[in-house]
Chain A
């Protein structure tokens, strides 16, 4: 982000940026930056908090009136949700039920049941890949079952499409979960998805499959981009259920 500040300011455009990693901003020294002590992914703070977001935005923009620089200012407050440790789930029309116990059987059958129970993909919403939930599952399971990449988006490198489809699937599960009678707070979504759902299990299996793949993009996607580091640490320290492959067989865990 700070690099873009240099480039745009060099083109005679005044810039002011939000900084999430103060250390990086100290090294890059862009013209104006406001460091905020918020979660990665939340540069303006908590969702739905108009007053707080406005304070952050206005503080960052007011740096444009500073007489000289570079400036690296610190926002004085933590985000409310971070400070309290909780975030109230949004209200939504309740649908479906939350499966308490994963059903037995193949990953395919467990995915099918889970997506039906949660009504994944039925609440609308755009995806980056443009694929539906069912098309994503067909693509990802098809690769695991046959080893072939039948890409529904031939203009996109198939391994990058796996990464993109995985994020779209997570977004659809989040949307589905928001519609449940017991929606999750933000810090609980990722552990639930990766440690409790068949869809999360699908990404673990893909991670295993791609991490040793001969294609360097496949290895990058498998090793780094399908499962958050935090979830690999969580699974290593606190396994919640057996790690199984697409036919229900145990698979080794990558450290």
Chain B
């Protein structure tokens, strides 16, 4: 499990000493109730549509994942060997909960599911993702997204 004390020693030590970016302040955006929001998923699992260019190495780009993608058409090109992929192999919602999000929209718990979702390579230094994040934000504003679910792997 992802409690540090439950991980094998070398992985725990790596994660404990992994450099994390620091920020002077945390931004905060308010909004309306969840039932009126349009939600997009941002994944750092290095997933993308099959046939789309894979992430190579420590890529600082992003991929767009269409909201109508079939689960079998999702692939993962994350570079790390040190996390379990069997859950994703069996059920992509474990990493990219698109169907669960659609379920919540059907139940009226969220307002709508975005037409487009986004993926990054999670092994890349987060500081190198700022420019791509700015482009993703512009895409989201153009579509009327006002809530973002961030999902690591």
Q: List residues of chain A with CB under 8 Å of any chain B CB.
A: 1-24, 27-31, 36-48, 50, 53-54, 57-58, 60-62, 64-65, 67-70, 78-79, 82, 90, 125-130, 156-157, 160, 163-164, 167, 170-171, 174-175, 178, 186, 189-190, 217, 224-230, 233
Asked if residues B152 and A8 are in contact (CB atoms below 8 Å), the reply is no
Are A13 and B8 in contact (CB-based, < 8 A)?
A: no
Cα(A102)–Cα(B110), bound, Å: 52
Q: Is the CB of B90 within 8 A of A229?
A: no
Number of chain B residues whose Cβ lies closer than 8 Å to a Cβ of chain A: 87
Residue contact A3 to B11, C-beta cutoff 8 Å: no
Contact (Cβ within 8 A) B149 A60: yes
**Residues of chain B contacted by A40 (CB below 8 angstroms):** 2, 7, 82-84, 153
Assess whether A228 is in contact with B81, with CB atoms less than 8 Å apart: yes
> Given the complex, which residues of B lie within 8 Å of A160, measured CB to CB?
56-57, 79
Check B73 against A126 for contact (C-beta < 8 Å). Answer: yes
Contacts of A22 in B (CB 8 A): 4
Highest count of chain A CB atoms <10 Å: which of B21, B29, B134: B29
Alpha-carbon gap, A3 to B28, bound state (A): 14
Task: Provide the bound-state CA to CA distance between A41 and B82, in Å.
Answer: 9
- Tell me the bound Cα distance from A150 to B110 in angstroms: 50
Q: Is the CB–CB distance between A7 and B130 below 8 Å? A: yes
User: Once the chains bind, are B84 and A186 in contact (CB under 8 Å)?
Assistant: yes
Say if the beta carbon of B30 comes within 8 Å of chain A.
Answer: yes
User: Which residues of B have CB within 8 Å of A167?
Assistant: 76-78, 81, 85
A14, A45, A229: which contacts B94 (Cβ < 8 A)? A45
| Interchain CB contact under 8 A, A4 and B150 | yes
The yes or no answer to B117 lying at the interface (CB within 8 A) is: no
Kindly state the separation between the CA atoms of A12 and B91 in the bound complex, as whole angstroms.
Answer: 32
Verify B86–A189 contact, CB threshold 8 A. Answer: yes
B75 CB to closest chain A CB (Å) equals 5
Residue among B88, B109, B110, B126 with max Cβ neighbours from chain A (10 Å): B126
Cα A50 to Cα B103 with chains together (Å): 10
Known interface pairs A1-B150, A18-B151. Does A61 touch B34 (Cβ–Cβ under 8 Å)?
Answer: yes
Other-chain residue from A1, A8, A50, A156 in contact with B44 (beta carbon distance below 8 A): A1
* A69 / chain B contacts, CB cutoff of 8 Å: 26, 28
Q: Are A2 and B126 in contact (CB under 8 A)?
A: yes
Interface residues of B in 120-147 (CB under 8 A from A): 120, 122, 126-127, 129-130, 133-134, 136-138, 140-141, 145-147
